[in-house]
Structure 1
Amino acid sequence: MNVKMEKLEKNVVKLEITVGADKFAEAVKKSYAKNAKKFNVPGFRKGKAPMNIIKKYYGDSALYEDAINYICDTTYPKALVENNINPVDYPAIDIVQIEEGKEFIYTATVATVPEVELGAYKGIEAKKELAEVTAEDVEERLKAMQAQNTRVEVKEGAIENGDIAVIDFKGFVDGVAFEGGEATNYELEIGSGSFIDTFEDQLVGLKAGESKDVNVTFPEQYGKEELNGKPAKFEVTVNAVKAKELPEITDEFASEVSEFETLEELRNSIKEELTKANEAKSQNDYEIAVMETVVANANVEIPDAMVNRELDSMIQDLENRLRYQGLDLASYFKFTNTTEADFRNQMREIAAKNVKNELVIDAIAKVEGVEASEEEIKERATELASKYGEADKVEETVNRLLQVQRGYLATQIVNEKIKNLIMENAKSI
């Protein structure tokens, strides 16, 4: 095999691969062995016609397709290794010469992983701002805890905004009851905006045991063609009225909702928790700013094939998340009134950013000689197996991870090392 390489563009190469006539003849024989049964030749049982007869009857090219595949499948990967080419997509194959008794020549044009021109990645400066926890922040958290512990009790008197009305209702459009427009003992929070139009407002003032016809109009884009923009009447009966009672924020409240005996202790704990959260956010924002600067300092032309591959991965991730929720992509796109093409267009910029991040980190790793050792990979696999696997199958899970996700684990470790290296040399301002 002889290979000539030509750089067409910065990230595209063209390989001209020449294979000896004997190797091509062998490939044709393999094609004949595979396809002989497909040919019907008069005077021979199906599959028993000699190769020279099949060629005479159907032409030499009848056996070329699989022969070409055999040749390309064995020679193309070797050509990549010999020329130190890292492709990012499938090659475009063109046949230059194909004739038995002569050398087989073809070209393979393919996009390659681009070269990265690194900028500064050590001594990066970025702002590190820590938000102070105020008394208002603490009180806001206390009020949230108060709302979570709201008590709901039946009350006497009329419905007011903020109350919960326990109602029976039945809806009619053009005098006919419609599907999904009926319920009993439905608890509706007045003022929540859960129901259409002024439905909730029209219940204000009613008492338990009272009934009323509520007249509303469905929105034009309600989602059901038979209801869009239609006026409707709901026959409503109030069964009960409930009021929300917020507990008073006192020492007793603190002891009921936390491990602390006094309100002061609870406030101090909340302030400490919020301070830690702010510090974590500040550090995370700082690290993001540093890494974004490192990536922005680098220059690289990203092939469309790499962006498309990242988009494929993002769609696969979305599909996996939906599957856990009992949904699929078709349902998701229908619900969001979008298509896969819309998703790709919306996420293309993010995908390109992800690819650049990966390329820059890989380039820094090469410059710094950072790798993941076998020991580190096994240690990471063991950590994951112990954390997520069954206790009695840790070793089995480790072996499976090492077989299936070794590359992913290695990449994860290298990425962490590079991030640590960058952050150790960064400066906060």
Structure 2
Amino acid sequence: MNVTSCEKKDNKTAELSVTVTAEEFDVALEESYKKNRGQIAIPGFRKGKAPRKLIEKMYGASVFYNDALDMILPAVCSHGISEENLRTVGYPQILDVNVAEDNSVTVKYSVDLYPEATVKDYKGLRAVREPVSIEDSAVDSELAAMQLKSARIQTADRPAANGDTVIIDFEGFIDGVPFEGGKAEDYELALGSNTFIPGFEEKLNGVQAGEERDLDLVFPENYQEDLAGKAVVFKVKVKEVKEKILPDLDDEFAKDVSEFDTLEEYKASIRENLLKERQTSADKAFEEAVFQKLAEVVEADIPESMINSYIDNQLSNMSQQLSVYGMDIATYFNMLGTNEAGFRDSMRPSAENQIKISLGLEKVAELENLEPTEEEIEGFFKETAEKYGTDVETVKSGIDRDSAVYELKMQAASKFVVEHAVAEEPKEDEAKDDKAEEAAEEAPAPKKTRKSTKAKAETAETGEAEAEAPTKKTTRRKKAAEETPKDE
């Protein structure tokens, strides 16, 4: 093979011409012949036994051309890119293929070039860093949660109240007719957990063991289609009322639930752990804010193929995560009221932003000469092996050295940018909003009681089960888009 021309156009694309010798093309033709001869019938020969020259004479010299060209085109494109030392993204686009009389082949194709980024003022990027503190109420909330977890459950000889658990049999009727999924026996329902449709739990407040009640209710309008908005009567029989007996918050409690001898020591440990968690969260938020500022100072012409490649990778990850829940991505799009085209459009701003961050970090690594040492490279392979419970050689066989070097350079660039950023205090209004959010997070959520194994009452529960959107993992330190074709 020989590259006969390479023309770059505005540093965005390149057009290449590569000539394949007749001998090289003949090798591909022979492979095509061996692959397809069993499907070709020639009078006087059993299938697969006719000579290639006879087949070409009967069906034309070009009978194996298309298949042979499909075989060699990937190597042709890869050869041109390698010989011209081009860094590309996406897939090559074939512009023209010409087979000469001497059976040499000329292939003309175009490739998108990896964008050259410029980054200005990447030192001293300014971003808000939230101050970290732990209020007494946060510690109290953790204590209350542990106290609730350690509570004893016992039968209550009194009317049921919010927070109690009632053991019930029930059956639902619409216009006097029972409906599928509306019946259960020995169901454990925590009053106040909002597990069932509105009004169900509230109307059980005050019931006692042995009591039977008819609950006149209406399914919510946003319930499943065949039941939404319909009046329903649930006939309920209460078998038992259970209450939680909370332990006293004292030194004995601390000894029972922790490694500490006193309640004060336990509370101090809770505060320390909360502080670490909140500090980690604040550091992460600051880092993300710095990277967003970095994206804003990156200038680059990002090829459409690079954006599409990034979105393709995200959709592939999303599809794999959804499959864990037994859902395909088309169903997920339908739940969101969109389709793949619409969803891809919604992902474009995020894709462009993440690509800019990656391009910016690559440029910082280049400008600051952030090259990993041999020791760091070996350490990367060792850490990866430990993480996945395998040996170093196995990791090296699956991750090439260039990928390891790239990952380490991106890590170093990330650290450099963050360490040279300027932390700003939040504005007063923002600080108030953050405190309100923290308070909301610290408030204990109603606890849902696990269903009895006999319970078969999916349709009596509030609303329909909603599939959680898969987390989109956009690892900043990975390449913004795979290079082609050598990385394909």
C-alpha distance 206-84 of structure 1, shift in aligned 2 (>3 A): same
Partner of 2:89: 88
Partner of 2:395: 401
C-alpha distance 56-384 of structure 1, shift in aligned 2 (>3 A): closer
Partner of 2:446: none
The structure with the largest helix share of the pair is: 1
Partner of 1:132: 133
Q: Distance in 2 between matches of 1:190 and 1:182?
A: 18
User: Partner letter of residue 400 of structure 1?
Assistant: T
Identity %: 35
Deviation at 1:108, TM superposition (A): 0.9
1:243 has 2:243 as partner: yes
Deviation at 1:17, TM superposition (A): 2.5
Q: Cα deviation per residue 1:383-425 (whole Å; 9 max; x = unaligned)?
A: 2323441xxxx5xx32111011235433332222222333343
Q: Is the 8 A contact 1:150 1:247 kept in 2?
A: yes
Partner of 1:208: 209
Matches within 5 A, 1:144-223: 144-223=145-224
Q: Distance in 2 between matches of 1:157 and 1:298?
A: 68
The alignment's TM-score, normalised by the length of structure 1, stands at 0.85
Count of residue pairs the alignment pairs up:
421
RMSD of Structure 2 on Structure 1 (CA): 3.0
Q: Distance in 2 between matches of 1:386 and 1:96?
A: 49
SS at match of 2:206: coil
Q: Cα deviation per residue 1:98-139 (whole Å; 9 max; x = unaligned)?
A: 232265322112222111112222233434332332333333
Larger Rg: 1
C-alpha distance 172-105 of structure 1, shift in aligned 2 (>3 A): same
SS at match of 2:19: strand
Partner of 1:73: 74
Partner of 2:352: 352
Q: Is the 8 A contact 2:16 2:110 kept in 1?
A: yes
1:428 has 2:428 as partner: no
Partner of 2:456: none
C-alpha distance 226-89 of structure 1, shift in aligned 2 (>3 A): same
SS at match of 1:384: helix
Q: Distance in 2 between matches of 1:362 and 1:328?
A: 37
Matches within 5 A, 1:26-45: 27-42=28-43
For structure 2, the residue ranges without an aligned partner over 5 or more in a row are: 425-488
Deviation at 1:171, TM superposition (A): 1.8
Instruction: Say which is worse superposed, 207-216 or 368-377, in terms of deviation.
Output: 368-377
Partner of 1:419: 414
Deviation at 1:209, TM superposition (A): 0.7
Deviation at 1:20, TM superposition (A): 4.4
SS at match of 1:362: helix
Q: Distance in 1 between matches of 2:221 and 2:275?
A: 47
1:310 has 2:310 as partner: yes
Q: Is the 8 A contact 1:378 1:402 kept in 2?
A: no
Q: Distance in 2 between matches of 1:335 and 1:267?
A: 48
Q: Is the 8 A contact 2:318 2:329 kept in 1?
A: no
For structure 1, the residue ranges without an aligned partner over 5 or more in a row are: none
C-alpha distance 156-18 of structure 1, shift in aligned 2 (>3 A): same
Instruction: Say which is worse superposed, 189-198 or 69-78, in terms of deviation.
Output: 69-78
Q: Distance in 1 between matches of 2:153 and 2:265?
A: 28
Partner of 2:378: 378
1:6 has 2:7 as partner: yes
1:333 has 2:332 as partner: yes
Q: Distance in 2 between matches of 1:34 and 1:258?
A: 70
Matches within 5 A, 1:221-300: 221-223=222-224, 225-300=225-300
SS at match of 1:132: coil
User: Partner letter of residue 428 of structure 1?
Assistant: A
SS at match of 1:6: strand
Q: Cα deviation per residue 1:32-89 (whole Å; 9 max; x = unaligned)?
A: 4544444334455545555554444323332221332344233321110121212222
Q: Distance in 2 between matches of 1:207 and 1:102?
A: 93
SS at match of 1:382: helix
C-alpha distance 196-299 of structure 1, shift in aligned 2 (>3 A): same
Deviation at 1:187, TM superposition (A): 1.5
C-alpha distance 220-282 of structure 1, shift in aligned 2 (>3 A): closer
